[in-house]
Structure 1
Amino acid sequence: MTHVAQIKIPATYMRGGTSKGVFFRLQDLPAVAQVPGAARDALLLRVIGSPDPYGKQIDGMGGATSSTSKTVILSKSAKPDHDVDYLFGQVSIDKAFVDWSGNCGNLSAAVGSFAISAGLVDAARLPHNGVAVVRIWQANISKTIIAHVPMSNGEVQETGDFELDGVTFPAAEVQLEFMNPAADEDGAGGSMFPTGNLVDDLDVPGFGSLKVTMINAGIPTIFVNAEAIGYTGTELQDAINGDAQALAKFETIRAHGALRMGLIKDVAEAANRQHTPKVAFVAKPAAYVSSSGKRVNAGDIDLLVRAMSMGKLHHAMMGTAAVAIGTAAAIPGTLVNLAAGGGLREAVRFGHPSGTLRVGAQAAQVDGEWSVTKAIMSRSARILMEGWVRVPGDAF
């Protein structure tokens, strides 16, 4: 019996923010996977180790959570005034499915670093010492991200004293600017609030009518008050992720919100759009103990936020959801803004399961329409391993 040999593909395993993923240069992928389609999806599924009915991704690079089942493909940008094109694939753990519908804000922090190290940024634009400005075209959502990457002695500086809740060790700070972050998702028409309202009444089976804020900024997100669904906003992962009934209810909210936002045409389609939209619940500040054991005092934060990602409560906060939080907080009258105390604000610090995060946004109302010029937050990134990833030659 003849067995197909494994092939090896140049790859880099990176942490960006509170996520990890496998990074590729487009040119290094097998020719059939250099274009979108079934072959590319099959390759990335095999790299990550999905679909895995055991939910562990033992036979791949995935870490069996939404934060660690991620892939990134980068290439020199064809867009004027941009350095690199960034395509993100969220790989399902238990299904043969790669979701290309949104961005990963956490891994965005690693894109600039990888692009520099991989030779995708013009060397003439890089300081020997200082901060490199990497102009990123986010191909999933057609948006610009500006990464400010520290450089030392001609190389990316990865070590430093910047601490990020949800990440054990300090590293160098990478500031990200998400330019004009209102997402141009299919059916959303480019509007930040797809229904035209800051707050809607959403009919959800099992809940009745829920007050929600549905926003397209960073990533399409549905915000609901924690109290309205029986929570306090101080919950950690174990309080929700072990409750199958609770997870099913969140998925119901997500599916009906996606329909109302115009992202799908039937609630059944939500199952094939796992990455977007997100569901998050908010509450006024309260003290709690984070997953690391650190106490977060009510006076340290402006509000509480917990967010669902790929069907589970996220261990910290997705970067794109943080953009949505900062944007919604800047607009008076949204549920996020009201939980933070209302009024005009350009930044908030919110409590999440792993600790706190500060995010800023600049919002303005023009002719009755809200717009945000940019959202800003700091993350960190680090190369964990580089070399080749191997997959069976008949896997794609």
Structure 2
Amino acid sequence: MPHLPQTRIPATYMRGGTSKGVFFRLQDLPEAAQVPGKACDALLLRVIGSPDPYGKQIDGMGAATSSTSKTVIVSKSARPDHDVDYLFGQVSIDQPFVDWSGNCGNLSAAVGPFAISNGLVDASRVPCDGVATVRIWQANIGKTIIAHVPITDGAVQETGDFELDGVTFPAAEVRLEFIDPADEGEGDGGGAMFPTGHVVDDLEVPGIGMLKATLINAGIPTIFVNADAIGYTGTELQDAINGDAKALAMFETLRAHGALRMGLIRHLDEAARRQHTPKIAFVARPAGYTASSGKAIGEGDVDLLVRALSMGKLHHAMMGTAAVAIGTAAAIAGTLVNLAAGGGARQSVCFGHPSGTLRVGAEAAVVDGQWRVTKALMSRSARVLMEGHVRVPFSNP
């Protein structure tokens, strides 16, 4: 009987921040997969090993977590003042779809290094020694990211002494600027960043009741609630939630109702096919706890505590885009994030997550009666784990 041959495609397996994924140059993909659509989705699903009813992704490059079921496509940009276009695909583990609705802030740190190493950035923009500035167009959300990539002897420097909680080994620091990270669309309340026009809303959720919530579009659409309002302290690690089916169902119900209130979906049942966005997170005032690595986090080490879920599970650290949302919300008086951090004006915040701590900054101001964030800043690291080719049973029509 006829069999489907394996297609050999150049690819790089990279860690960016606390995530990792398979990176492609657009030009290296089969022609049918170079444009958005079924062929591209089918290819990426097969690369990662989805859908997998066993939930393991054994027959692919994924590792069966939201942090590792990821793909990135990079190409030279035709946009003025940009070097590359970056498209992120969050691959569902057990369902046959790729979610293109948002960015991955962690893998954003690897886009600049990948682009330089793969000849997608003009050589004149890469110093022999120093820092290369890579101007990235994030195609999923239509935003600009500026990556500051260390260069040694004309090549990307990957090793160094920058430590990132959630990553075992130190590496070189990659500084990221998320330019104008808030949503520019007009919400029901006329607020671009806050789709309802309010920094805090009353959100009615079946089985939970009425909750205070901050619904924000910055970095990635995110729903923030207070930890104590849903029975938590903000010091929880993954096992406390991910092994609790009832808790996970509660968070998904909360996420779906928040998505509906934010105008991201029209019907509640649409949330199941929009797993990547919005994110759901809960916040609390500072408290001491022991991180997943065994590291002791003191009450005085952080400004607040944040726990966030991604693709239906508590994240082992913090999603980069959610960190942008945290930094942005912390800078705006009256949000639940700002209040958990003690209130008042601030340009940066250090928050505790399951793996440790992370500092993120944001520059916010009121412009024409609306909050405006010009940029959010944070540091991550990135490293090539493997490069060569992936092999995929794929027919190029």
**Alignment partner, residue 303 of structure 1:** 304
Structure 1 residue 3: Cα displacement: 1.8
In structure 2, the partner of 1:201 is: 202
**d(CA) in 2 for partners of 1:207 and 1:395?**
49
C-alpha contact (below 8 Å) 2:186/2:192 kept by paired residues: no
What is the match of residue 221 of structure 1? 222
For 1:219, the aligned partner's letter is I
Distance in 2 (CA, whole Å) between partners of 1:345 and 1:220 is 21
Q: Deviations over 1:119-178 (max 9, x none)?
A: 000000110000000000000000000000000000000000000000000000000000
Say which SS state the counterpart of residue 252 (structure 2) adopts.
helix
Contact 2:241 2:248 in 1 (8 A): yes
Query: Match of 2:161, as an amino acid?
Result: D
Shift of 1:187: 6.6
Shift of 1:393: 2.9
1:342 aligns with 2:343: yes
Q: Aligned residue for 1:168?
A: 168
* Alpha-carbon distance, 1:366 to partner: 1.6
Partner amino acid for 1:7? T
Is the contact made by 1:150 and 1:173 (CA closer than 8 Å) also made in structure 2?
yes
Post-superposition offset of 1:4: 2.0
Deviation at 1:2, TM superposition (A): 2.5
- CA 1:260/1:323 → structure 2, altered by over 3 Å: closer, same or farther? same
How many aligned residue pairs are there? 396
Letter in 2 for 1:298: E
Distance in 2, Cα, partners of 1:41 & 1:271: 17
Helix, strand or coil at the partner of 2:134: strand
- How far apart, in 2, do the equivalents of 1:64 and 1:183 lie? 30
Question: CA deviation digits over 1:304-336, x for unaligned, max 9?
Answer: 000000000000000000000000000010000
Instruction: Please tell me whether the aligned partners of residues 282 and 306 of structure 2 are also in contact (alpha carbons under 8 angstroms).
Output: yes
Q: Is the 8 A contact 1:286 1:297 kept in 2?
A: yes
Q: Which residue of 1 aligns with 2:320?
A: 319
User: Could you state the TM-score of these two structures normalised by the residue count of structure 1?
Assistant: 0.98
Alpha-carbon distance between aligned partners in 1 of 2:113 and 2:70, rounded to the nearest angstrom? 17
Contact 1:185–1:263 (CA under 8 A) maintained in structure 2: no
Note closer, same or farther for the CA distance 1:74–1:186 as it changes in structure 2 (3 Å cut).
farther
The answer to whether residue 187 in structure 2 is matched with residue 179 in structure 1 is no
Q: 2-side partners of 1:184 and 1:93: how far apart?
A: 31
Q: Secondary structure at the match of 2:80?
A: coil
Verify: 1:276 aligned to 2:277, yes or no. yes
Q: Could you tell me how far apart the structure 1 residues matched to 2:357 and 2:363 are?
A: 20
Query: What letter corresponds to residue 238 of structure 2 in structure 1?
Result: Q
Distance 1:139 1:186, change over 3 A: farther
Q: How does 1:252-263 map to 2 (within 5 A)?
A: 252-263=253-264
Displacement after TM superposition at 1:61 (Å)? 0.2
Q: What do you get for the CA RMSD once the two structures are aligned?
A: 1.2
Give 1:386's aligned residue: 387
Unpaired stretches in structure 1, ≥5 consecutive residues: none
DSSP 3-state at the match of 1:341: coil
CA distance in structure 2 between the partners assigned to 1:104 and 1:185 by the alignment = 20
The SS at the match of 1:193 is coil
Q: Partner amino acid for 2:315?
A: H
Encode CA deviations 1:192-218: one digit per residue, 9 max, x unaligned. 000000000001001111000000000
CA distance in structure 1 between the aligned counterparts of 2:302 and 2:174, rounded to whole angstroms: 22
Query: In structure 1, how many angstroms separate the alpha carbons of the residues matched to 2:115 and 2:166?
Result: 24
The answer on whether the counterparts of 1:141 and 1:184 sit within 8 Å (CA) in structure 2 is: no
Please tell me whether the aligned partners of residues 17 and 381 of structure 1 are also in contact (alpha carbons under 8 angstroms).
yes
SS at match of 2:357: strand
Q: List alignment gaps of at least 5 residues for structure 2.
A: none
The SS at the match of 1:167 is coil
- SS of 2:40's equivalent in the other structure is helix
Instruction: Give the C-alpha shift of residue 7 in structure 1.
Output: 1.1
